[in-house]
Homo-oligomer: A and B are copies of this chain.
């Protein structure tokens, strides 16, 4: 009855996403996650350093896959505009399809002592770089203004998308997030031009 290695690790991550989304990070007890995952409390500590590590790992897993997948989609795009459109669309579509993840990413994740968290900022930074690369590409391609401050532009782009998602999560997902892809793109691409 051997279980595949890593199966429990995955069970715990899954359970954590569900539980954090339902109850919130601080209100979730490690014991709750363990029960949801069908393992003993102690088992959680075989796979994770501590409670915070679960949240961070969970985010890393999601983010790394997200960026990888997004990247492999971007290479198929012709120019920066198409890429920006893809980014926005992929970002919104992904979270629209995974409400629990969206909740955790937008709300619960921000309940950690940011200052310390390497673990969160590193994968996020990779996403930021991706956006910046696209912006730079757009400048090179003559699609966007030459005098654009890439870093600031990236912040506005990411901040804009992020806020749209946050509002959707806080509204209890009562409308179609994906439908906002187009208008958000229009707003941002014009900003860059």
Contact = CB atoms under 8 A, between A and B. Distances in A.
A64 interface: no
B113 A187 contact: no
A55 to B, nearest CB: 13
Question: Among the interface residues A114, A160, A162, A166, which one has the most CB atoms of the partner chain B within 10 A?
Answer: A160
A188 interface: yes
13 contacts: A111-B111, A114-B170, A149-B180, A149-B183, A152-B184, A153-B183, A159-B162, A159-B166, A162-B163, A163-B163, A188-B191, A190-B192, A190-B193
Of A107, A158, A186, most B-chain CB atoms within 10 Å: A186
A26 interface: yes
Nearest to A121: B170
* Interface size class of chain A, counting residues whose CB lies under 8 Å from the partner chain: 35 or more
A187 B107 contact: no
Contacts of A183: 148-149, 152-153
Contact of A113 (B27, B155, B190, B192): B27
Interface in A168-193: 170, 180, 183-184, 186-193
Contacts of A188: 156, 191
B156 A163 contact: yes
A30 to B, nearest CB: 15
A153 to B, nearest CB: 6
A142 B41 CA distance: 62
A143 to B, nearest CB: 13
